[in-house]
Structure 1
Amino acid sequence: MTARYCSLPRQPAPAYAPGLAAERLGALVGGRRVWVNGTVLHYCFFDGDTDGSVIAVPGTGRTRWVSWGGAKEQQDVVRECFEEWRGLGTGLAFTEVRDRSEAELRIGFQHGDGSWSAVGRDALRAGVHDRTMNFGWDLTAPGERATALHQIGHALGMLHEHQSPDAGIHWDDEAVYAELAGPPNHWSRARTYHNVLRKIGPDEVNGPVWDPRSIMQFAFPPGLILEPEQYRGGVHPPGTLSTADKGFVLRWYPPADPPRTPALVPFRSVPLGLGPGEQADFRIDPPETRAYTVSVFGDGDTVVVLFEERDGEPRFLAGHDDGGTPSNATLAARLVKGRRYYVRVRLYSSWGPGETAVMCW
């Protein structure tokens, strides 16, 4: 029987100004979906009694209400998988909250709607009453824990491993379309192409080589892959986090060291000295309560995010991504004396002759 597969929703391609240098564009494409390191991702589960959607009943002209809630046993699988990713020692943290307005990740369990997730920061595009992740089948069934690990991988910014151009897979296209058109997936040709046959760009890959053991790799039965020859009998990933999966999250989200975070003092510019994909973190201890501005200077593409420490946890206040534009990221916020704030700056790439720097005032 064919496995049930993750069906990523389509997202509009980012619109960058024409004429960007290839190196600069590649850095933007590769880094746009990942979070700044040190982020606490808050997740919540939709309530089964009040949250759901109205769907059409095929062939009847009627509609019915479908719950987005999941039983505790289903939620517990997702909680355990968040803990497994967190246990790698990354600079990200996960916290469950009940208030959906405080959650970057909002999780539903609508059966029949497939399993999917927004990829990385694409979750921020969803409305506060919308799902950013869904589980469409029983996660407690044998082997289905991998589904939760897989969707969290997407939430961290990972894409499907079998779509890497480095895989060198030569598909029997019509066999793939036929396989996915049948049960239990019932996919259209467009959905199959988007999630299986389409190659992602070389700047979007999870790692430098194809990893058939990745949690982001689909299991495929025999008869779909023509080349490489050793995979004509199918691909059978173990459903666990591979060494390369762990490498991805530790590369983008290395362990953070908050006590050593340097201070960003008002009216004092600090050179960043970052390479592509690198990040600098600063703390702000406001000397007075007032409106402050935080800005990056120089010819570079950056993401800048401001957090306020609450109960020992950094909470998002403001963010600006200037990638692909001629302007620099600038934030404005009211900071309160006696509270601590964190500024995190991630560089896509530098495209000018000068140094990049950050300052608050």
Structure 2
Amino acid sequence: MNGIEDCTLIQWPDDQQSYEVAINENPKNAGSGTGTRRKRSLINYSKLWENGRTLKIAFIDGPDDEHKKKIINAARQWLPYINLSFDFVEGLEGDIRIATKNNDNSSMLGTDALLIHPAWPTMNLGVKPEHEDFEVIVTHEFGHALGAMHEHQHPEANIPWDKPKVYEYYQNREMNPLSKDEVDRNIFTSFNALSAIYTPYDRKSIMHYPVADNLTLGNWKILTNRKISKKDKQLMKLLYPKR
């Protein structure tokens, strides 16, 4: 397992079901986020939790106390910037359910977690506590659980990818290889969401993959962002404003 670039953001494949769950949780998911009115549709909706609620977060496979403590400390880094609370529990009774014994790092996007079978995890944190980027990866996955997309897929990112090299790198790497379609979906395709998500592109976002210079055209790279950025904070305050 490498680093944050091994994260898999998972969205429920049935847009109708995803939409219905999202607006049942938070009717504002069907509206606009920044005051710009947009037509309600299955394309343009967000997956945000009801503002002000407490999210129950369950550890379902019994990590030891130190492991749990490190996950909790990383997740809580978001709390100063959102109008939500976290309640960490054991077992399967959670809105978000964390498994730590798989080999991948992944999360459902926001309210899509409500569509997962109650006996299954909605977030996998296979990263080991001794990994140098453990805190970064956990914080990143919780960003997805709160409804944040990958920043390198921002519509304004305009990263000068050297696409043949990117395909070759991800298809041939030893850990978690990706098919061409998976690279297109997880690297190149811009996300489509409500205008609230369209805050200015942020190279420093903790939701951004690192970008190696040898995978781009010209002199263009981004190292691993290890802190929640100023714009990350602004986005979360916009998505979950204090009352």
Which TM-score bucket, shorter chain as reference?
0.7 to 0.9
Contact residue 45 and residue 107 of structure 1 kept, 8 A: yes
**Are 1:223 and 2:214 an aligned pair?**
yes
Query: Alignment length, in residue pairs?
Result: 222
Contact residue 92 and residue 253 of structure 1 kept, 8 A: yes
Equivalent residue, structure 2, for 1:12 = 13
Q: Deviations over 1:56-103 (max 9, x none)?
A: xxxxxxxxxxxxxx3333322210022211133x211101122423x1
Greater relative contact order (CA < 8 Å, ≥ 6 in sequence): 2
**Are 1:147 and 2:137 an aligned pair?**
yes
More strand as a share of residues: 1
Q: Amino acid of the residue matched to residue 191 of structure 2? A: I
- Aligned to 1:7, what secondary structure does the other structure show? strand
Normalising by structure 1, we get a TM-score of 0.57
Q: Paired residue for 1:164, among 154, 159, 163? A: 154
Which blocks of at least 5 consecutive residues in structure 1 are unaligned? 17-21, 49-69, 257-361
Equivalent residue, structure 2, for 1:98 = 90
Distance 2:143 2:118 in 1: 21
More helix as a share of residues: 2
- Aligned to 2:58, what secondary structure does the other structure show? strand
Aligned-residue RMSD, C-alpha: 2.4
Contact residue 109 and residue 136 of structure 1 kept, 8 A: yes
Equivalent residue, structure 2, for 1:203 = 194
Distance 2:127 2:196 in 1: 28
Contact residue 29 and residue 204 of structure 1 kept, 8 A: no
Equivalent residue, structure 1, for 2:185 = 194
**Are 1:40 and 2:27 an aligned pair?**
no
Distance 1:23 1:198 in 2: 22
Distance 1:73 1:108 in 2: 15
Distance 1:230 1:94 in 2: 41
Distance 2:54 2:132 in 1: 31
Which blocks of at least 5 consecutive residues in structure 2 are unaligned? 20-36
Q: Paired residue for 1:249, among 216, 236, 240? A: 236
Distance 1:30 1:204 in 2: 9
Offset of residue 204 of structure 1 = 6.8
Q: Deviations over 1:81-134 (max 9, x none)?
A: 22211133x211101122423x1000001332x100011100100111010000
Q: Deviations over 1:292-313 (max 9, x none)?
A: xxxxxxxxxxxxxxxxxxxxxx
Contact residue 205 and residue 228 of structure 2 kept, 8 A: yes
Normalising by structure 2, we get a TM-score of 0.82
Identical positions, percent: 27
Contact residue 54 and residue 84 of structure 2 kept, 8 A: yes
In structure 2, relative to structure 1, the CA distance for the partners of 1:225 and 1:170 (3 Å cut) is same
In structure 2, relative to structure 1, the CA distance for the partners of 1:204 and 1:142 (3 Å cut) is farther
